[in-house]
Structure 1
Amino acid sequence: MRISPEMRQYFKSACQNVEDKAFLFGSRVNDSKRGGDIDVFILSNKHYDSDTVRTIRAKFMQKFGWQKLDLINWTFDEKNTFKDLVMDEAIEL
């Protein structure tokens, strides 16, 4: 997993509820690859509103500097083809 322990902790603490879970997916999951944006999704019981997602992104940038960050929020029971695809390779943070 190619993110720092501090970034990992940030995304875990950004979850609004204890049962929410943050996952890393994409190229940063593979230690042998280089570069790439940071792809994170949060699973929750209900969708975060857009202000909450923007705040998580903004605070991340303030703390770690500008980086390409893709942040997605899905609910646990949401049916989504892309979600099903990335769940196979995702690593819980």
Structure 2
Amino acid sequence: MRISPEMRQYFKSACQNVEDKAFLFGSRANDSKRGGDIDVFILSNKHYDSDTVRTIRAKFMQKFGWQKLDLINWTFDEKNTFKDLVMDEAIEL
């Protein structure tokens, strides 16, 4: 996993509820790859509103500086082909 422990903790703490889970996927989830943006998704019982997602992103930038960040929120029971694909390689933070 190619993010700092501080970033990992940030995304874990950004989850609104104890049962919500944050995952890293994409090239940063693979130690053998280089570069790449930060791809994170949060699984929750219900979708976060757009203001919450924007706030998570803005606070991340304030804390860590500008970084290319893709942040997605899905529910646990949501059916989505892309979600199914990335779950195979995702690493829980």
| TM-score bucket (shorter structure) | over 0.9
Q: Measure how far apart 1:38 and its partner are.
A: 0.1
Q: SS state of the match for residue 19, structure 2?
A: coil
Please give the per-residue CA displacement for 1:25-49, whole angstroms capped at 9, x wherever unaligned: 0000111111000000000000000
Matched, 1:86 2:86: yes
Q: SS state of the match for residue 59, structure 1?
A: helix
User: Structure 2 length as normaliser, TM-score?
Assistant: 0.99
Q: SS state of the match for residue 39, structure 2?
A: strand
User: Structure 1 length as normaliser, TM-score?
Assistant: 0.99
Question: How is 1:6-85 mapped onto 2 (pairs within 5 angstroms)?
Answer: 6-85=6-85
Q: Measure how far apart 1:11 and its partner are.
A: 0.0
Please give the per-residue CA displacement for 1:35-90, whole angstroms capped at 9, x wherever unaligned: 00000000000000000000000000000000000000000000000000000000
Q: Measure how far apart 1:20 and its partner are.
A: 0.1
RMSD: 0.3
The runs of 4+ residues in structure 1 deviating greater than 6 Å are: none
Q: Which runs of no fewer than 5 residues in structure 2 stay unpaired? A: none
Q: Which runs of no fewer than 5 residues in structure 1 stay unpaired? A: none
Please give the per-residue CA displacement for 1:3-28, whole angstroms capped at 9, x wherever unaligned: 00000000000000000000000000
**Paired residues, number:** 93
